[in-house]
Structures are given as C-alpha cells and as structure tokens.
Amino acid sequence: MAVNEAEETFKRLATLPGVQGIIVMNNDGIPIRTTLPQNKTALYVGLIHGLAVKTKSAIKEMDHQNDLTFIRLRSHKDEVLIAPDKEFTMIVIQKPAIQ
Amino acid sequence: MSKPASRASQKPATSSTSRLSNGSAKPRDTSAQKPNKHNSNKKSNNPFDEYTIDCPPGLYRLFLSSGTQSNLNIRSDEDITQEDNFRSIPKQAILDDIYNKQALSDFSPLRKQIEEYPEDEITLVYDYEFQHDKNFYICLNIGLKELIHNPPIVLPPEPQKEPPKYQPPESKPWVSQGSEKEIDEHSFKDKRPLLKFNVKIAKESLKRNAHFIDIESDDKKNLNISIQPFEDSSFQTKMIETEIAIQAAPMLLDSSAQTIWRYPKNAATQSEPRFLDKKECEKILGQEDIKSFINQSIPELESALQQNILFNAFENDWELLGDEMSSIGGPGDMHLKEYQSFSDIHNSKNKVVTCVQWHPELKGIVAMSLAENFNFYDRMDNISKSVITPSMILIWSFFDPIQPKLFLEAPDDVFSFAFSHSDPNIIAGGCINGQVVLWDISPWEERIKNPRGDHRDKDLFIPGFEDETYFQTPRIRYCALSSLEHGHSSPITDIFWLPDHFEIDRMGFPTESKDHKNCQLMTAATDNQILFWDTRSKSANTKKKDSDLPMNVPDTFKHLGNWRPLLKVSLPCSDPGGDFAPTKFSIAEKQGDKSTIELEDKLEIEKKEDPNKGQFVAGHGKPTSGKGSRLLQHLNTRISVGTEDGQYVYVDWLPQKDADTSKLTTSKAEWYQSILDGPIVAMKRSPFFKDIILIAGGTGFNIWREKVFSGALLQTKSFSKRICDAEWSPTRPGVFFIAKSDGTVDIWDLLDRTHVPILTQSISINKLTYLSCKIVASNQQLIALGDSMGTLHIMEVPWSLRRVVSGEYQAVKAYFARETERRDYVKQRWDFREEEKREIERQNALKAGLGPPHIPTEDEITFRLKGEYNEYLQFEAAILRELGLRDDDDDQPAAIAVN
C-alpha cells in the first residue's frame, strides 16, 4: 500500500541523526503530514511556502528552461532542506552533528 | 424665651427641660448638674429646691391633686390640655384653698409668695410632661406672666428664596438730565454759515519791472536779521501722564488641515493558517501521486542529510585558525589591570568591605557595604560608638571616584546584600543583628542614572536658587525592616533573591510565577536557619496604619509592617558538634534560566501526545490547575549549604510531617560531609554547568557535582593563606578566581593546570574580603574586589582570560564527566575493597574455627530447600500409605522441579 511505504520512508528519515522534524505540505501551503507540534508546523509552512514559490519564480526568470530542484537553508543552529515538486513539498529540519 | 418656645413648637421631646434652663439666671448650675439633682435633692440645704428645679426665677413647680384641679376647674386633659396649658386663676380662690386646707393644700409651700403676689390673678401652667413629679407651674412673676399670655410668635422659617433670575437689562428711552447742555457748550459748532471767497490778483500789479541791486552784508546796516536756533522751553515738558484707551479683543484665527490620502493601503492584516482535518489528509495520503513524489524526493533528501552528518561544509577555517595562535600569549597579557579604586575618606576608614554587588542594569554602578572591623569583644567595648555612627552601603559610580552617589543607611552593619533583578531599585540587605532590611531607591534613581550629577553641574542652577542638598550625597533610610523576634538571631551571612520565574508558598511548594518579579528572598544566618521571606502584602486590603515613616522614605514596603518569614528551614544535626550554621548557600534555579518551566511544558506536551508520532498535537502548555499558576513538580527543591564548620550539607527545603510530633519541620539533611578546614566563604555554581559547585573555605577549595556524594571532583591541598572568596569567570567555563587573605588573587584554569593557579597577582596589602565579576561590555570584563580597609578595587580582566577558547566548553564538560566517572570508579573500588575485607575476615574466622565452612550462595540455598521439600512430600506419602489413608496407585504428589 502506498500509505505504508510512505510511512516506512518517513520513519527511516526520522531516525537519521540530527533530524528534528519532517513536514509534507501541498502547494497551497497546507500541511498534510508533520512530526512537529501544530504551532511550529504552521510557522514553517507559512514561511517556507512563500520562499519556495519565490525561489522557483526567480530561477525560472533567469532561465526559462531551468527549474528548481532543491533548497538548502543553512543557519547557525540548524539546516532546513526543502524538496519541492509539482503538487507537494517536503521540508526536513536537521541539526547538523558537527558544530 | 425658652418657655413659650416649648409651647409653640409642641414637641414632646425631653429636651424641653434644657430649653427651660436656657437664659435662666438662678438655676444655671442646677441645669449643669441635672442628672445629679434628684440625688442631691434630699441633701440640699434649701428644702425649697424641689419647686424651683430648672425654673427661671418667679416660676415654681407644683403638684396639684385632682381635687384641687377640679376645684379650680383646671382638670388635666379636660379643662386644660397640652396645647392650651395656662389659666388665670383668681388669687383669692387660691388663698381660699390655702386657708381651708392649711397644710394639706397643694399651694401651701408657696403661700408666702402667693400672698405677696401683687396682681389678682395668678397664672397656672399645666406641665404635660410631668417633669420632676410636678404637673403644674405657678407663675409668680409679672414679666413671666406677660410672656406666658402673649408668647412671642415664632415665625415660621422663611421659605427658601430662589436666587433671583437674571433678567437682561431692557432698553428704556433716554431721559435728559441736563448733560446735553454741557456737551453743547464744549462742542464746536458753526454759528453762521461758512462764507466763500475767491481772491484774485489784478493783472496790472503783476506787470512790474524788477530792479535788482547788490548790497554788502554788513551788520551795521542791520539789513538782515539772523535767527539763531534756540531751545524752546515749551517743548521740554515731558508728558508723564497721558490718557489712552485700550481695548482687548480676542484674535480670531481661521485654520484648517487636510490629509492627503493618495491611495488606500492596508495598515494591518491578520491571517490564520489553514489546516485540513484528518480525513482529508488521509485521503490525500492514499493517492498515487504522493507515493511517486515521496519516492522521488527521498533519495535526494537522504543524501543531503547524510552529507551534513559526514562533513560540515560551512566551516570557517580562517576563524578556527586564528584561535590556536593567540593562546600562546606571554605573561604580560595575563595581568589584571587596575581600572579604578574607590575609597571614601570619611566613611571607609578602618572599615571592612563585607559585600560588593554590581547594579544589574546600569553600567558603571557598583555598591559596597561596610562594617566595622571588630571582633566580638571589641564590638562590645565600642558598642556606644557604633550605635552613633550609622552603618551604610555606598553606591559608587565610575565617573566619580571620590564621592559616592548614594548612602543607604542600615540599622546595623550589613554583611550581605543583593539587588533585585526585576526591579534594580530595590535592594535587600542582611544585618549583623539578624534583621533583613529593604531599601527602595526609586526617588533617587536619577542620581545614579545621570552619571555626572555633581559639582560640575553648577550651571544647572540659577544663582541664588541653588539647592545645596543636590551636591551632597543623600542618605537614604531603609524602607522596611524584618521583625527581630521572628527573624534571625545572629548575623545574616548570605542573602539571595529567588528567581522571578517561580515562587514558593507556605508549604514550600514551588509554583510558576506569572508576574515575573523578584518578590521572595532567601537568607541564611549562623543561627542554624535558612528563612524564606516574601515582600508582597499578604492580604488585599492592607491595614491603613498611620505612616510612621519619616519623610523622604518611599512607602513601597509599608504593608510589611512587622515582617515575618514565609518559611523556615532549620538545619538540625544529630551528630555531636551541634546543628549546621550556614554561611553560604546555593539553589539550582538561576535568575533568567527558565529551563525548569520549559521542561514542564515539554513534559506536558509529551503526556498529551499520542503514542505514534505524526499526529497533530493541540493545546500544549495549558496549566494543570485551573487557577493559572501551576505547581512545578520537576524543580529541584534542595539547597546546597556551606556551614561555619566547613561542612557541605544537601537539604530539602520542603517541610515534611514529622512522624513523632506530626508538625511540619524540615527533614533531616539528605547528605552532609565535612570537607574543608574552615568556614565556607563561597559556594558558587558555574554559569555554564548547572550542577557544578565551587566551594571555597578555610585554606582550600573543592569542586563538587551536586548529587554525586562520594567525593569532590577536584580537591586541592591546603594553601598557606586562608581563602576569602571565590568566583567563576562569566565567560570561560574553566576559569575561576580566588581571593586570599594576604591581598592576592589567584586565577585558576582547569584546562591548563589543576594543582596550581596559572596566575597570582597582589592587589592590596590588606586582606581581600569579597570578589565579584561582571561583564560590562562585549570587550570589557571587570572584577570588583573589596578589602579590609574599606577600599574597593576594580580590575579589568585581560583579553586572554576573557575570551572563550574554542572547544573550551566541551573540554571542561568532558573533564567534569571524567571526574564524575572517577568518583564512580572510586566508589566501586571502595565497595569492592569492602567485599574483599569481609572475605578476608571470614577466612580468618574459618581458620580460627569459628565461622561456617561454606557460605552457600542463593542458588545453592534454593536447591537445598527444594530438595528438602521433595523429600518431605515423599515422606508424607509414605506415612499415609502406611496408615492406609492413601492407596498405592493414587497419583503421587507432584515433585517440584529441581534444576
């Protein structure tokens, strides 16, 4: 079943060291699956949705044939990995093991 | 007059007697003694008084019997009533009555007066109120008689006149009073019509030939007159008084404003995140496209995640490189530089600095407390002198090293004090007599905020209006004082404001504090007690006591009144040597560190979360009790206390019910040990590790980990000099400072060497008494050191001791972890040695023939017991068979498996 496979892969991702949360949202900015509490999910989804859309349009404007595949956002405390797609976007927050 | 007034007003009030006495000449003193008059009546010299009580002269009271009344036709309530209460009786009738009845007549006592009465008719007045047992008055005074018959009319009170309505003046036609004649006389009028003239010069006279000649200008001929200018005195009079007319008229201004609203724009928007409910989510998840999406994106994500784990691509090599080089600084870099030194000429001589505190918010403000440098006997000798000179806390500003900014007066020498973190204008101090003192310096806040308010500000004042007290340092009296009986009975050695995120109640339970203010205090004194105090008023309605505070003292703490502690923690000890006398203490909670609250939050969330992750969690952080402030169950309520005898005591402040007395007392200390050879002078938690404590006292110091009771993580050998204070560095986890009694400061670095200090620096020739560090700016760190001659030294920490070395935190953490493991290992080895010792003893006992040959292990014992039981079962079966109670082929009792 598709759901079970999805679950399996989710759990595998979650067990990788440093992963703090995983969010799956659709392209309207509504979270579908998340491992974080609701307020944090809303925060991430709201902000990253805008960022993903803007980045995609920026890349498309620079070169029409180009397209966005992946965004990596590195900050002092953690890293946010964003994988956009036609209908959904997956967000993973990781705290890197090395300082 | 009084009597007619009583008739006219018709009030049956008892005050009519007093009205009678108004204006009376004779019985004025009797009216004053009216209540006593009945008693003194019997003893009075004049037996006639009963007839003249409360009467004006000429009026007498009488009792007339009903017979007399009917004879004279003045029967009470029939002929004569309350309203119509006087009658003129012919004198003869009365005299007849007297003659007929002689002594029995009612009128007999007044016989003489009646006979002397000039007129023919006597007035009798009925007293409806029956005062003084007499129901009639007889009037034997002509003046009074007139008044009775013709009472002055009491006019009814005038009706309240309404204030006259304002009527605007009406215009009337003008009536001439003769003024127009005067005006006519003075005005100018034409008396005749104006005449018109037309003047022309005849043309012939114009036609004349002019004939000019020359003349010399000689004075002799007087052909010309020169007119010189001269001052005309008529123009010299000054007009001092002139009459002018002025009229004030309001200025009328027109004004208008118009905003330009170029385009409408939203000033604020509010949005809400959208969420889908569970069923929708599951429907979407079940679709095919999500499966393909996940399969596509997962590999990329995984590789990214794994890359991060393996290698930190964003490391800044340049920065990391620089750190290694700079640690090889020469000794010159490592000196504590003298920044400033404070000493007050008048107040600091021969006094010991007992405590130094930095102002939590303002830069450059430091406070120090002074005490007399006496031991007990000297103090007793000089007690009269020390009562006069007040004990003070001085507040210094860095800009003025000569004159302190503020003096805080205390009732006695202050041994420790602390600023409140939430409101730095409140300072709590502990005195040598065991009292807790509170100051509120908010009225003088300007003085310390404004750095240069001193003699340089002379031009602030207008000459002649100078405020001399501005240039003198104000002395501020304390606001509140704790009760002597209920507080401490010996010097308070340590005082601490409870952090603002929690507060305790009477039972000692910590609850989350919602208003985030430092409102509770902990104090320790050598009378074996640690007390908790609350600075808020207990009841909502505070008693309005007359403020007996002197002027100039703010009344922030007036509600405290006779201030009692909230909770007492006593430190009993069953060992000989007496109870523990605390000198310093430390609790796990720190101001500004809200980790216990966050932990509570997290645990609540975890409780409410469903077991499988991935579900939404709602409603976290709600308090468990409905009231709003929740009990913090995970707060560590234990205090680490250092005592006067060099012991380290770990005790819980929550009172337990004592089994014997069923009273709430502090339970016995969880753990204690004697660790140093002198009183503990410092007990400081590391700012980086919550449970590492630096304990200093006597001639050495230890580092302990809270709850690891087997031993210290680090113990030093005894130094030659006693230690007076110790403090961790606020920025470097492994560095701390020790102040010693020979005026030197030792700087220790745990990562460098742990057996000697890395630097020893002499600060003062006198004993150093207190040490406090503060980060003033990002590139400046200062240490305040007080010494025993009243001087406060401020030293600057050099860059090498202030800057964090890379990886220092990890290294120090690892060091402490290693040491903790070492303690565990030591404990294990002890246990092992104990076991060994017991073995050896047993062997010895065996050899001596006393002990048992072989101590069976538990398994062996079980084996043996099972075997015995099985034997017993078989034995029982055999006996029963013999007795015939059991047949042979009955099933055997199950034998217990023995393995």
In terms of DSSP H, where are the helices of B444-553? 445-449, 468-471
Query: Chain A to chain B, count of Cβ pairs less than 8 Å apart?
Result: 107
Interface test with A, best of B289, B308, B813 (most A CBs within 10 A): B308
Contact B144, B56 (CB under 8 A): yes
Query: Is A50's Cβ below 8 Å from some Cβ in B?
Result: no
> Per the CB < 8 Å rule, is B288 touching A2?
yes
Q: Give me the pLDDT at residue A61, please.
A: 93
Mean pLDDT of chain A: 87
Contacts of A90 in chain B (CB under 8 A): 293-294, 297, 301
Q: Which of B300, B308, B312 sits opposite A70 (nearest CB)?
A: B300
Residue B634 reports pLDDT greater than 60: yes
B470-493 burial by CB neighbour count: b if 16+ within 10 A, else e? eeebeebbbbbbbeeeebbeebbb
**Highest mean pLDDT: which of B598-612, B764-778, B849-863?**
B764-778
Strand partners, B668: none
Average pLDDT over residues B385-400: 81
Q: Give me the pLDDT at residue B36, please.
A: 43
Q: Give me the pLDDT at residue B456, please.
A: 56
Contacts of A48 in chain B (CB under 8 A): none
Cα separation, B414 vs B353, in Å, equals 10
Cα separation, B850 vs B551, in Å, equals 86
Q: Which of B399, B394, B444, B397 is nearest to B417 (CA)?
A: B394
Looking up residue A49, the CATH number of its domain turns out to be 3.30.450.30
Sequence-ordered list of residues with C-beta below 8 angstroms from that of B542, at least 6 positions apart, any chain: B558, B559
Asked if residue A99 belongs to a domain, the reply is no
CATH class of B344-452+472-537+552-592+630-674: mainly beta
Query: Is A33's Cβ below 8 Å from some Cβ in B?
Result: yes
Q: Give me the pLDDT at residue B21, please.
A: 43
Contacts of A72 in chain B (CB under 8 A): 304
What interface predicted TM-score (ipTM) does this complex get?
0.71
Contact B497, B428 (CB under 8 A): yes
Average pLDDT over residues B888-898: 57
Mean pLDDT of chain B: 78
Q: Which of B274, B287, B308 sits opposite A79 (nearest CB)?
A: B308
The band of B314, judged by pLDDT with boundaries at 50, 70 and 90, is low
For residue B664, CA distances in Å to B523, B565, B635, B661, B707 come to 20, 15, 20, 9, 25
> Per the CB < 8 Å rule, is A13 touching B302?
yes
In terms of DSSP H, where are the helices of B572-690? 595-608
Residue B113 reports pLDDT greater than 90: no
> Per the CB < 8 Å rule, is B281 touching A38?
no
Cα separation, B387 vs B470, in Å, equals 27
Q: Give me the pLDDT at residue A43, please.
A: 92
Q: Which of A18, A30, A85 sits opposite B297 (nearest CB)?
A: A85
Minimum Cα–Cα distance from A43: chain B residue: B273
In tens, the pLDDT along B413-454 reads: 888 899 988 888 889 998 888 888 888 888 888 877 776 655
Angle between helix B288-310 and helix A2-15 axes, rounded to 10 deg: 10
Please say whether the dihedral angle defined by the alpha carbons of residues B285, B288, B292 and B293, taken in this order, is positive or negative: negative
Contacts of A18 in chain B (CB under 8 A): 305, 308-309
> Per the CB < 8 Å rule, is A90 touching B300?
no
> Per the CB < 8 Å rule, is B293 touching A88?
yes
In tens, the pLDDT along B215-264 reads: 776 666 666 777 888 888 778 878 888 888 998 988 898 998 888 888 88
In tens, the pLDDT along B325-358 reads: 555 554 456 788 888 888 887 777 778 888 899 9
Structural domain tally of chain A?
1
Determine how many CB atoms are found less than 10 A away from the CB of residue B674: 12
Q: Give me the pLDDT at residue B57, please.
A: 77
Q: Which of A45, A69, A94 sits opposite B308 (nearest CB)?
A: A94
CA distance B286 to chain A (A): 6
The band of B34, judged by pLDDT with boundaries at 50, 70 and 90, is very low
Residue B872, token pair as written in the block: 């017993």
DSSP string over B825-859: HHHHHHHHHHHHHHHHHHHHHHHTT-S-S----HH
Q: Give me the pLDDT at residue B19, please.
A: 45
Q: Give me the pLDDT at residue B610, please.
A: 46
In tens, the pLDDT along A56-90 reads: 999 999 999 999 989 999 888 888 999 998 889 99
> Per the CB < 8 Å rule, is A87 touching B294?
no
Structure-token match 């069976």, residue found: B856
Q: Give me the pLDDT at residue A57, please.
A: 94
Query: Is B516's Cβ below 8 Å from some Cβ in A?
Result: no
Query: Is B613's Cβ below 8 Å from some Cβ in A?
Result: yes
Q: Give me the pLDDT at residue A62, please.
A: 93
Q: Which of B273, B305, B614 sits opposite A45 (nearest CB)?
A: B273
Query: Is B316's Cβ below 8 Å from some Cβ in A?
Result: no
Query: Is B302's Cβ below 8 Å from some Cβ in A?
Result: yes
Least confident of B15-29, B311-325, B585-599, B688-702: B15-29
Residue B169, token pair as written in the block: 């003046």
Minimum Cα–Cα distance from A20: chain B residue: B305
Interface test with A, best of B293, B295, B302, B610 (most A CBs within 10 A): B293
> Per the CB < 8 Å rule, is B309 touching A32?
no
Least confident of A69-78, B31-40, B632-641, B786-795: B31-40
Query: Is A13's Cβ below 8 Å from some Cβ in B?
Result: yes
Q: Give me the pLDDT at residue B432, please.
A: 86
The band of B403, judged by pLDDT with boundaries at 50, 70 and 90, is confident
Query: Is B304's Cβ below 8 Å from some Cβ in A?
Result: yes
Minimum Cα–Cα distance from B312: chain A residue: A98
DSSP state of A96: -
Q: Which of B476, B531, B525 is nearest to B506 (CA)?
A: B531
Contacts of B314 in chain A (CB under 8 A): 74
Contact B655, B664 (CB under 8 A): yes
Domain that holds residue A47: 3-72+80-94
Residue A2 reports pLDDT greater than 70: no
Contacts of B613 in chain A (CB under 8 A): 14, 35
Cα dihedral B501→B504→B509→B511 (10° resolution):
-30
Residue B309 reports pLDDT greater than 90: no
> Per the CB < 8 Å rule, is A85 touching B276?
no
Cα separation, B49 vs B47, in Å, equals 5
Domain locations along chain B: 49-149, 344-452+472-537+552-592+630-674, 709-804, 854-898
Q: Which of A46, A72, A86 sits opposite B273 (nearest CB)?
A: A46
The band of B47, judged by pLDDT with boundaries at 50, 70 and 90, is low
Residue B459 reports pLDDT greater than 90: no
Average pLDDT over residues B608-628: 45
Structure-token match 């939430």, residue found: B422
Contacts of A85 in chain B (CB under 8 A): 293, 296-297
Q: Give me the pLDDT at residue B626, please.
A: 40
Residue B61 reports pLDDT greater than 90: no
The band of B897, judged by pLDDT with boundaries at 50, 70 and 90, is low
In tens, the pLDDT along B460-503 reads: 666 666 666 666 778 888 888 888 888 888 888 889 888 888 88
Q: Give me the pLDDT at residue A54, please.
A: 95
Average pLDDT over residues B148-160: 76
Residue B623 reports pLDDT greater than 90: no
Residue B336, token pair as written in the block: 């504590």
Structure-token match 């001791």, residue found: B801
For residue B853, CA distances in Å to B703, B839, B840, B843 come to 47, 13, 14, 9
Contacts of B806 in chain A (CB under 8 A): none
DSSP state of B496: E
Least confident of A82-86, B543-547, B712-716: B543-547
Minimum Cα–Cα distance from B273: chain A residue: A42
Q: Give me the pLDDT at residue B467, please.
A: 63
